[in-house]
Amino acid sequence: MKLQDYKRKRNFAQSPEPRARKSKVKRLRFYVQKHEASHLHYDFRLELEGVLKSWAIPKGPSLDPAQKRLAVMVEDHPLEYGEFEGDIPAGNYGAGVVTVWDKGVYTALGTSDVSKEEVELKKGLKKGHIKIVLAGDKLNGGFNLVRLKAGEKNWLLIKEKDEYASNETNIVAKLKKKTMPKDIKPMLAKRVDEIFDRQGWIFEIKWDGYRAIAEVDAGKVKLYSRNNLDLKQQFPPIVTGLQAFKGRAIFDGEIIAMKNGRPDFHALQNAGKKTRIMYVVFDLLYINDEDLRRKPLRDRKEKLKNLFRGSPNIMIADYVEDEGKKVFQSIKKQQMEGVIAKDGASAYLEGVRSNSWLKIKNIETQEAIIIGFTEPKGGRKYLGSLVLGAYDSNELKFIGHSGGGFSGKEIKELYDKLVKVKTGNSPVREKVPINSPITWVKPKYVCTVSFTEWPPDGRMRHPVYLGLRSDKKVKEVTREPVASQKELVGAEAIDVKVTNSDKVFWPKEGYTKQDVIDYYNSVADYMLPYLKDRPQNMYRHPNGIKKPGFYHKYITTSVPAYVAMQKIWSEHNKDEINYLLCQNKETLLYMVNLGCIEINPWNSKVENVEKPDYMIIDLDPGKKKFDDLIVVAKEVKQVLDLACADSYIKTSGKSGLHIFVPLAAKYSYEQIKDLSLLIVKIVNGRIPKITSIERTPAKRGGKIYLDYLQNRRGQTIAAAYSLRPVPGASVSTPLEWKEVRRGLDPKKFTIKTIHARLKKKGDLWKPVLGKGIDLRKSLQCLEKNVKEEI
């Protein structure tokens, strides 16, 4: 069937499908596209004679040679169609969602001479029997296409009996039914101080509306805010627009109201039937059984661009590559809120405020908590101005008051809400410098205000009310920090080559090498202070946690330019050994690519390699329960308190606990080993029934081992925030001492849960690198407080 048939059947003004162009590619390609049209089928396409010869396979291909799959020959398609993914609008030929299910190259079976391949394939096409060998992501090995009767469109696709054959009756059924993610937590952006240009980055308009995730499954829609509030009832036109998408997908975007050609948050708050409401979609997280969250943003954008053609309420966000300053100048002229800058190579990190997504504001806005209102003056009714607050270090503080931005109807509705939550006491401790009488209200409602600047006193200048925010929780409202763009973006981004990213590292949980890459990418800013300038003993698990790992301490091969090295004298080897230093995120990811699930830095830095930065007491539970370990940890802390030594604790990431004492690199390993031995002897003397300081496990009798020997040159222990190669993908997690009590479960701190904890508590490990103990004073304190036990 000729290419003219393809052109005749399509309206290219309406359909996003590609037109035909001449090919410059020499290798023959094949494609399998999943086509969710009126009936789901798979389109099998072979490049031949400058076009894609095409067959529709209702049940999809099979790897079982006993399965003969019907393949109906259809019109030739242009070569460009092989890469096409998109939503063909209703009313057009082939309406429905098209995705690439598999692709690769192919050869003629039994033909070694490439120059004769097309000749043999053409002969086979004419005879009605094409023999081919596929090399794709899902389909490999020999296949036969056999025509049933001369002159008919019906063929059979049959797998050859080879090493790629399988008795799996339906590879499509096996691969397609992946669980669609639910209740996505949106990835967030950090605010920076200035716009920038950067190759490989994407720059978009910062839309002024409600952030919303849309889950669509065969016309069924779930639309919700970043706090999981249902938005379907509030925005029915958007739900209608999403229902037109007949596949399965998850979108991330912003709900906006357009006024005078630009988004207007105030108009969104007061939207009526005539208000133009739109869902601006800027990310695609999942489509038709393919989870895209680990894919680069640029690839997700490419799949997104052809969806929702002609929809009046759904718009795909436009973007500009590399040139952020140009975009910022444009939005300034239009008086829009700002620009979002995104690393085109970034994965989608759920719930994480990442350095890969940055926002640059043109108009200052701030979320604020309404904590009161003043009496109206002049002709105004109900209220004068709103008294506003925000949280600062868990304390609610006054940040200004706003008397502008209200409409008559709006002020009445707002007043009716506030009088229901009146209270007799101020929600803030400080005195609020407002002359008018204030009616205090409970901190229940969040609003958005625009303003001109933040003065030194921390109270907004000229705030103007824009509207209430039902999508923000009160406790989330803080003054937004502004970071240095130069610090966050830094020099030109370095491309870290990742191999075998889909290799499964945790078979039971299904976590892959890419999950480990994503995890360390997201926590690098927390980890790097505890890794920089320290030799690394790499513990590699290139085949996942079910296979034995091995230590790789010495670097003897070439490494990328961004990896720093340091030669350190080894008394054991009587030679200088080349150690890797983890100085940046790129090196951390390089280590992960080598199979380092856990990260093990030395206790000392290279500039002071003989003096550790901290003392470690490693508690190994043996055969005891974790609650027994809690008892021992508290006893260790009590002894350290008596030694006038501050201490900090973290889970090991397995079944133990690590107690650290800051030293600030003032003492030798030998001195600190002696001190730690003294501490554990005292603890062992107090609770000998459940503790031991015996090095040999067999001599401990299952007791908790008080390991002080980590305090030796070259010893390492899993770093704070390091993953461990154990079931559950647990993380070595810093704790507050008040958390160390019976019932604590170290297994709850995992690759999936740690981000919420970091967001809530921040980095608890900072003091470990702070002011160290005074060793002389600590010994004097022990002499005074536990003299009889020494």
Looking up tokens 């008795």, which residue turns up? 167
Radius of gyration, alpha carbons of the chain = 32
Nearest to 496 by CA among 558, 556, 554, 562: 562
Instruction: Find out whether 10 and 84 touch, Cβ atoms under 8 Å.
Output: no
Instruction: Find out whether 540 and 596 touch, Cβ atoms under 8 Å.
Output: yes
Contacts of 395 (CB under 8 A, 6+ apart): 429
Dihedral sign computed on CA atoms, order 533, 537, 539, 542: positive
C-alpha dist (Å) from residue 287 to 8, 329, 534:
29, 34, 43
User: Which two structure tokens, joined as six digits, stand for 396?
Assistant: 């609610």
> How far from the centroid of its chain's Cα atoms is residue 118's Cα?
45
User: Which two structure tokens, joined as six digits, stand for 694?
Assistant: 């015996």
Angle at 784 between CA 783 and CA 790, to 5 degrees: 35
Question: In degrees rounded to 5, what are phi and psi of residue 769?
Answer: -100, 15
Residue 13's CB: how many other CB atoms inside 10 A?
Answer: 5
Question: In degrees rounded to 5, what are phi and psi of residue 578?
Answer: -85, 115
Catalytic positions: 206
**Max CA separation in the chain (angstroms):** 103
C-alpha dist (Å) from residue 516 to 298, 356, 563:
21, 17, 19
Residue 177's CB: how many other CB atoms inside 10 A?
Answer: 9
Angle at 64 between CA 61 and CA 68, to 5 degrees: 60
User: Which two structure tokens, joined as six digits, stand for 273?
Assistant: 């039937």
Angle at 680 between CA 722 and CA 689, to 5 degrees: 105
Instruction: Find out whether 116 and 46 touch, Cβ atoms under 8 Å.
Output: no
Judged on CB neighbours under 10 Å (0-12, 13-18, 19+), 200 is: middle
Quote the CA–CA distance of 546 and 144 in Å, as a whole number.
39
Looking up tokens 């409202």, which residue turns up? 477
Question: In degrees rounded to 5, what are phi and psi of residue 55?
Answer: -130, 135
Instruction: Find out whether 146 and 159 touch, Cβ atoms under 8 Å.
Output: no
Nearest to 14 by CA among 87, 80, 75: 87
Question: What string of DSSP letters covers 298-331?
Answer: HHHHHHHTTSSTT-SSEEEPP-EES-HHHHHHHH
Instruction: Report the chain's terminal Cα–Cα distance, integer Å.
Output: 94
The helix (run of H) or strand (run of E) holding residue 366 is strand 365-374
Nearest to 402 by CA among 460, 469, 446: 460
The angle that helices 775-785 and 626-642 make with each other, rounded to 10 degrees, is 100
Query: Going by DSSP bridges, is the β-strand pair 353-361/188-191 parallel, antiparallel, or unpaired?
Result: parallel
Quote the CA–CA distance of 249 and 180 in Å, as a whole number.
8
Q: Which residues pair with 263 in a beta bridge?
A: 258
> 3-state DSSP call for residue 238?
helix
The helix (run of H) or strand (run of E) holding residue 372 is strand 365-374
Quote the CA–CA distance of 178 and 249 in Å, as a whole number.
12
Instruction: Find out whether 297 and 309 touch, Cβ atoms under 8 Å.
Output: no
Q: Which residues pair with 570 in a beta bridge?
A: 575
